[in-house]
Amino acid sequence: MNRNMKKLSKKIVTRFAPSPTGYLHIGGVRTALYAWAYAKKNNGTFILRIEDTDKEREVEGSISHIIESLKWIGINWDEGPDIGGPNAPYKQSERLDSYKKYAQILIEKGLAYADPYTQEELESFRKKADEEKRPFLYRDHRPENPPVWDGSQPLRLKIVDIKQSEWFDEVRGKLTAGEEALDDFILIKSDGYPTYNFCHIVDDLEMSVTHIVRTDEFISSTPKFLALYDALGIERPYFVTLPPIMAPDGKKKLGKRDGAKDVLDYKKEGYLPSAMFNFLAYIGWSPEDNREIITPEEFIGIFDLARIHKSGGGFNIDKLDWINREHLKKLSYEEQEEYVFKYLPDSLKKLPTLTNSIIHSITPIVMERISKGEDIVKMAEDGELAYFFEKPIYDKESLFFKSSKISESDKYKTLSSYLEHAVFILTEIDERSFLKENIKEKLWSYAEEIGRGDILWPMRYALSGLDKSPDPFTLAEILGKSETISRLNTAIELLIK
Ligand code: GLU
Q: Quote the CA–CA distance of 272 and 277 in Å, as a whole number.
A: 9
Give the Å distance between the CA of 251 and the centre of ligand 1: 24
Three-state SS string over 289-323 comes to: CCCCCCCHHHHHHHCCHHHECCCCEECCHHHHHHH
Ligand 1 centre distance from Cα of residue 392 (Å): 56
How far, in Å, CA of 251 to CA of 464, rounded?
46
How many whole angstroms from 491 Cα to the centroid of ligand 1? 65
CA-wise closest residue to 75 among 18, 120, 115? 18
CA distance 79 to 288: 32
Residues contacting 421, CB < 8 A, separation 6+: 446
Cα dihedral angle (412, 413, 416, 417), rounded to 10 degrees? Answer: -150
- CB 54 less than 6 A from any atom of ligand 1: no
**How many angstroms is it from 116 CA to the middle of ligand 1?**
29
**Parallel/antiparallel/unpaired status of strands 45-48 and 13-16:** parallel
Indicate if ligand 1 lies below 6 Å from the C-beta of 65.
no
The finding on whether 170 has its CB within 6 A of some atom of ligand 1 is no
Crossing angle between the packed helical segments 273-281 and 317-329, to the nearest 10 degrees: 130
What are the residues whose beta carbons fall under 8 Å from the beta carbon of 385, sequence distance 6 or more? 344, 348, 362, 366, 376, 379
What pLDDT sits at residue 8? Answer: 54
The candidate with the shortest Cα–Cα distance to 26, out of 250, 317, 430, 380, is: 317
SS3 call for 465: coil
Q: Is the Cβ–Cβ distance between 44 and 78 less than 8 Å?
A: no
Nearest ligand 1 atom to alpha carbon 15: 8
Nearest-CA residue for ligand 1 atom 2 is 18
Q: Does the CA dihedral 287-290-296-300 come out positive or negative?
A: negative
The pLDDT value recorded for residue 3 is 52
Q: What is the pLDDT of residue 2?
A: 47
Residues 6+ apart with CB under 8 A from 249: 314
Residues with Cβ within 8 Å of 201's Cβ and at least 6 positions away in sequence, in order, are 225, 228, 229, 232
Res 6: pLDDT? 53
Residue 109's Cβ-side half-sphere holds a number of Cα atoms within 13 Å equal to 17
Mutate to test the pocket of ligand 1, among 218, 221, 236, 239 (most ligand atoms within 8 A of CB): 218
Ligand 1: distance of its center to the CA of 442 in Å?
67
Ligand 1 atom closest to the Cα of residue 196 is: 1
Burial class (CB in 10 A: 0-12, 13-18, 19+), 3: exposed
Question: How many whole angstroms from 361 Cα to the centroid of ligand 1?
Answer: 49
The 10s digit of each residue's pLDDT in 291-327 is 999 999 999 999 999 999 999 888 999 999 999 999 9
What pLDDT score was predicted for residue 408?
93
3-state secondary structure of 51: coil
**Mind telling me the catalytic residues?**
256
**For ligand 1, atom 10: residue with the closest CA:** 18
CA of 400 to the centre of ligand 1 (A): 65
Under 8 Å between Cβ of 81 and 89 = yes
Test site for ligand 1: of 54, 169, 200, 213, most ligand atoms within 8 A of the Cβ: 200
Residue of 13, 19, 216 with the most ligand 1 atoms within 8 Å of its CB, for mutation: 19
- Our answer on whether the CB atom of 17 is closer than 6 Å to any ligand 1 atom is yes
- Taking 70 as the pLDDT cut, the residues of the chain under it are 1-9, 259
Distance separating alpha carbons of residues 114 and 149, to the nearest angstrom:
5
The response to whether residue 214 sits with its C-beta less than 6 Å from ligand 1 reads: yes
Which mutation among 51, 53, 220 tests ligand 1's pocket best, with the greatest number of atoms within 8 A of CB?
51
Helix or strand holding residue 45 (H, E): strand 45-48
In DSSP notation, 139-178 reads GGG--SSPPPP-SSS-EEE-------EEEEETTTEEEEE-
Answer yes or no: is the C-beta of 18 below 6 A from any ligand 1 atom: yes
CA dist 55 and 36 (Å) reads 27
Query: 200 in ligand 1 pocket by Cβ < 6 Å?
Result: yes
Query: Rounded to the nearest 5°, which phi and psi values hold at 289?
Result: -85, 180
Ligand 1 close to Cβ of residue 19 (< 6 A): yes
